[in-house]
Structure formats: C-alpha cells, structure tokens
Structure 1
Amino acid sequence: MTTRSPAINPIASSSASDRIFTEANAWFFRLRADDVDAAERERFAGWLAASPLHAEAWDTVQALFADLEAPAKAVRRQAEAALAANSATTTKRPRRRRTASVAAAIAACVGLIAVLLQPALVQNLQSDYHTATGEQRLVTLTDGSRLLLNTDSAVDIEMTAAQRRVTLLRGEAFFEVAHAPQRPFWVVAGDARARVTGTAFSVGRRSEDVAVTVAEGRVETSTKSHPDQITPLTSGESAHYRGARLSAKQTADIPRELAWRQGQMVFVQTPLAEVVAQINRYRPGRLIVTDRQLENRPITAVFNIDKLDDAVSALEQTFGIRARRIADYWVLLG
C-alpha cells in the first residue's frame, strides 16, 4: 500500500455537497420502504440534526421529487390518453393494459432515479484510491510511477517484486510508468489489459468499454480471455475494447483526448448525448436530455472542467438548447 498523495485541483466543497446529497437521497428512499423500523428512523433523525448541511440537502431532495411529480403526472396522462384512444377497438383488456403501462412508467422513473443517483460505494470500498465527481488526484507509487486519477474513478493497486498491477475499477487514469524491464507494469480494466515497462498512457473505462491511449513509448494491449492476441500501440495510437473484443485500433488526437489533464473538455462534432454524459462525470448533479431529437445534435466546444455551469449556459446561448433547472441539482435539456 502506498502513501496517499494530496489531491490536485479538488473541488472539495462540490464533492462534499454531492456526498451529502447522495446520503439524503438514500434516506429519502429508505424511509419510504415497507420494512423501515424505529431504529432506522432514529438514525435518520441523528443524521438530520448532525449538520445544517444535512437539513439543507434533505429539503433539496424533497423539493426535487416534488418538482418531479409534475413531469411524472404528465407522462401518466399521456399514457392514459394513448390507451384511451385505443379503447374504441379494445373491449376487455384496456384496464389491465392501463394498469400495466402506468406501473411500467413509474418503475422506469424510479429505476432511472436510482441509476443516476446511486454512488459506486462498492467499488470505492474495493479501491486503494478513488475520486469523487469533479475531483482529480495524483498518486505516486512505491516504484516512482505516477498515476493521475480523473473524476469519479477508482483503482486497486498491487505491487510485488515480480510485477506491478493496477486494476481500474471505473473511470479514467493517466500513467507515467517508471522504467523497470524486469518488473512489468499491468493495467487491467474489465477484460482488457495493457502491459508496459516504462511509458506514458491513459486507460479509460465505462462499464465494459475500455480505451487505451498512448502519449509516449509503447504499450501492448490484450484481453484476459485472449492473452496471446496482442495489439501493440505506439505514441499517438489508441485501442478500444468492448468486453473481450478489440473494436478499433486508430490514431488518437492526443491533445483532445487527454485535455482533461489540463482541466478542459474538447468536443468536435460530438453528439449532444455524449457531451452530456461527459459533463455529468465532472459536475455534481445531472444533465438530462429530455428531447430525444436533440441527442444526436453535433456540438463543437471547449469547456473548462471547473466552470461547467458556464457549459450549461453555452448550450443555452450558443446552441439554442433550452435548459430547465430543478432544485439546483438536475438540468433538463430540451
């Protein structure tokens, strides 16, 4: 285990606020569960009284879901109207279909909320180092290698006399590996893996999609399923894996793909849905595209990671995309 290095460019207040909001959100759902007991209600009361920030977050969560009731009711009315339009040709099945459709809509909303707001607590517990939303962290390993963790990332580190191994549980990291030919350095992300003895490269992981991009030196990529199928990369090249399959090897735009190291995000004719997904990695809260016709709209822009509220304003003013803010946490784009 290495000595933990101080964070670089942390947005401490934002990270703390995001954590407290997540706790408030968890309490919101837990207190509505059928099996909540008196002891849990007492623990909630203690949490609520522990800090004015907790009370503020609790009020925000309640306001958020109160504000969501109106869109949810609108979705329900639309579903009911669509079913009513079919009632003239349907005799015995409308009520059952109506009930199922409404239940499905409610389940979808609840599922979406859970996916968006639940933290990666298990991965954080498994990790040696992790970062919160909007935080970056520089770590120096015992061999002198350095890794820069990007926002919302987690790594597990194993250093032995025979090899050095970093498992990227989620997110993205840039590695500057100390040269040691007799002690290879492995980075594992899902089924994909990269092997080096000394170089500089990044590995990014989104679920089972993994990208390896080389800034300096040489990297050998492969998968745990097919270790003998090696794809070598040199400076300016990247490999993209989907699960155990190499989906692409290509020339990489290093300044653009690694712009996050300088605190920027660079988009060139990038679909709005992808832009939003990237912003959500850095900004506490969530942007949601509510108009599906806008998801593929191309965006060319440069945003500063530490000023992403300016990015929302730019989407409004430069690209004419309407933004509606809900409880200072969610932004609906449509």
Structure 2
Amino acid sequence: MSTARVDPVTRAAIDWMLRLESGQACPSERQVFKAWLAENPAHLAAWQRVAGVLKAPVADLHSVERRSPGQLQAARRALLASASPAGKKALQGGLLLLLLGLGAAGLVDRVTPLTGLTADYQTATGERKTIELADGSLLTLNARSAVDIEFSSGQRRVHLRAGELQVDVAADAKRPFVVATAQGQVQALGTRFMVRQGTDESLASVQQHSVQLDTLGGLQRRIETGQALSFTANQIDPQTPTSRSQTDWLAGRVELHDEPLSALIEALRPYQTGMLRISPEAARVRVFGVFPLDNTPQTLSALTQTLPIKVTRYGPWLTLIDVRG
C-alpha cells in the first residue's frame, strides 16, 4: 500500500502553521502570510487542509479526506514530524482535545482571523494597530479586529466587521464620519469615541464630545462624553462604566473594579493564541486590579496567587480555568 506524500504547497502551509504557532511571528511576517494566502487558491486550500488537522470536528475531517484522498493524513504526519518535541506534544494534545469536541470552533483561526483576510485593515491575535486615514483621522484597532474604509465626497464611513476600534476624528464639516456595525451606526459629533462589535450586539462609548447612534431598527440616541451604550437593531441599553466600555486596551492593559473574572477572560481572549475556557463557578469570582493584555500566561499565573482558581494548560491550544477543589 502506497503512502501519500505531502505536496510542496501543503508543505509551505505546514511551515506557516509552525511559524505562526510559535508565537514569534512579527506583524510583517503575518502580512506576508496574508499575501501568500491570497496569491493562489491552492494556497488557501492547502492551509485549510492543514488547519483541518487541528480544528475540524470528525465529520469535517472525513469530508476533507474524501475531497483530497491521503493529503489530510499526510499533512498530519508531516506536521507532527516537523515540530520540536515540545511542539509535537502540544500539537498531538491539541488534536486529541479537538477530536473530543473541545475546540472545533477553530484553533488555527486563533492565530490569524481568516474571516478578516479580505478587510481593508485587520489585526491578528495579540496585535494592536493605529492607522492614519486619508482625512487625517487616527483609527486604532484592538486585537482580532477588521474594518473596511469607504470614503466618498459626501461621507467618511468605517465598517467594523469584527473586534473593537477607537477613532480620533479629523474635522471635516462637509463629510460626516460614521462607524457602522451589524446593529447600527455611530456618527461623530466630536472627536474621540470607541465602538465594539460583539456577537449579538454592539457597544459605543465616548471619550470626547458626543456621537449620534442610529440602530438598524430606527432607534436613535445621543451619547455624551463618559457615557456608554450597548445596542441591537431594536434595543438600546445604557451601560455603567466597566472594563468593556473603557479604552485601557490602547495601553495594553485592562482595569477591573469588582467585576466577574469572566470579564477579564473576555478581554484576554483576543490576545491568546489558543482557546480560553472558564467554568461557570470561576466566571463568577470577583476581580479587582490592573492586568496586562500582552502576556496572558503571566496574568493567569498571577491570578492563581490571589484568587481561589486553578489554571490547566494543554499546550498552546487550550487553557482551562476553574475554581480550586
């Protein structure tokens, strides 16, 4: 019986997997990776095959194997053979956990969000970026964020696909500045505000002057300095000041005052390569303090010293947080 060999494009995808998984890839390398994916449909197909080794549920694995007989298992063997001993253990452990149903949502996507690859601007996991737009406005993206820019003679429009942004708006009396989300839009009436796109709702907070909120369902509200609102298409809810509505992430930190641990974990997720899972009991533990975003293992280790929690790591792919027994 013959053994399927790994083709050069799949080998290149494996090399990218190991480089990105190492956590040492710089922003310029991520841009090269993005360009490599877009260069040829075969590159994206190979990346999806290699990603399938680590992220797909069993049914999807079989589907990939039917489309490319032998390549999936060959990629798996090559991936494990190419890793260092420590990396091999982590990859094997990650695959086992995924086949048990603990990560089918897509661990590979945790490195570079694939849904934002066609966006005008995008940030990877753990990356923040400030862009000067054509009108002089400054747009800062939090980790794992993606936006499209649409400037015309009558309007300046930023479509927030995913994640979080803050914008310092340059004055232009003839062209309003709008940030659109899946639930509505926020128009600048001043200079500085933040918008977050969540799974089922958006959030807007104002740091300077005010903004006009219009939901897709026709609701309207003005948001003043220091205020924050969450909104869906048909509902607007004022928010008390919490870590969700603050802009501490601009400085690479998050500050909590008697908030649940789940709020901190939510802030850390865009900065963690791999999945963070927290039990309902641990999620309710109250937290005070200022925590760095750029070093999740250090932050979690510090928490175990002061809170009644335990942290269990399965290589770089999965971290479980629970209360101590």
TM-score w.r.t. the length of structure 1 is 0.72
User: Which secondary structure does the structure 1 equivalent of 2:166 belong to?
Assistant: strand
- For the 8 Å contact 1:180–1:197, the answer to whether it is kept is no
Distance in structure 1 (CA, Å) of the matches to 2:240 and 2:149: 29
- Report whether the alignment pairs 1:194 with 2:194: no
Distance in structure 2 (CA, Å) of the matches to 1:129 and 1:259: 21
> Unaligned 5+ residue runs, structure 1?
1-10, 70-105
Partner of 1:274: 263
- Considering only aligned residues, what root-mean-square deviation do their CA atoms show, in Å? 3.5
* Offset at residue 44 of structure 1 (A): 7.2
- For the 8 Å contact 2:169–2:177, the answer to whether it is kept is yes
Partner of 2:53: 27
> Unaligned 5+ residue runs, structure 2?
1-22, 34-46
- For the 8 Å contact 1:256–1:265, the answer to whether it is kept is no
Over 3 Å counting, the alpha-carbon distance change for 1:146 and 1:282 in structure 2 is same
* Offset at residue 115 of structure 1 (A): 2.2
Partner of 2:288: 300
User: Which secondary structure does the structure 1 equivalent of 2:284 belong to?
Assistant: coil
- Identity in percent: 25
> Which structure: greater helix fraction?
1
User: Which secondary structure does the structure 2 equivalent of 1:301 belong to?
Assistant: strand
Distance in structure 1 (CA, Å) of the matches to 2:230 and 2:67: 50
CA displacement 1:99-134 (0-9 Å, x = unmatched): xxxxxxx9xx63x51225363856313411111111
Q: Give the counterpart of 1:156 among 145, 148, 160.
A: 148
- For the 8 Å contact 1:236–1:251, the answer to whether it is kept is no
- For the 8 Å contact 1:129–1:155, the answer to whether it is kept is yes
Q: Which has the larger radius of gyration?
A: 1
Greater than 6 Å deviation, 4+ residue runs = 14-17, 253-256
Q: Give the counterpart of 1:206 among 198, 201, 205.
A: 198
Partner of 1:125: 117
- Report whether the alignment pairs 1:141 with 2:133: yes
Report the count of equivalent residues. Answer: 278
- For the 8 Å contact 2:242–2:256, the answer to whether it is kept is no
* Offset at residue 163 of structure 1 (A): 0.3
Over 3 Å counting, the alpha-carbon distance change for 1:45 and 1:198 in structure 2 is farther
* Offset at residue 212 of structure 1 (A): 0.7
Partner of 1:63: 93
Q: Give the counterpart of 2:213 among 200, 218, 221.
A: 221
1:145-184 equivalence runs, <5 A: 145-184=137-176
TM-score w.r.t. the length of structure 2 is 0.73
Distance in structure 2 (CA, Å) of the matches to 1:55 and 1:38: 31
* Offset at residue 221 of structure 1 (A): 0.7
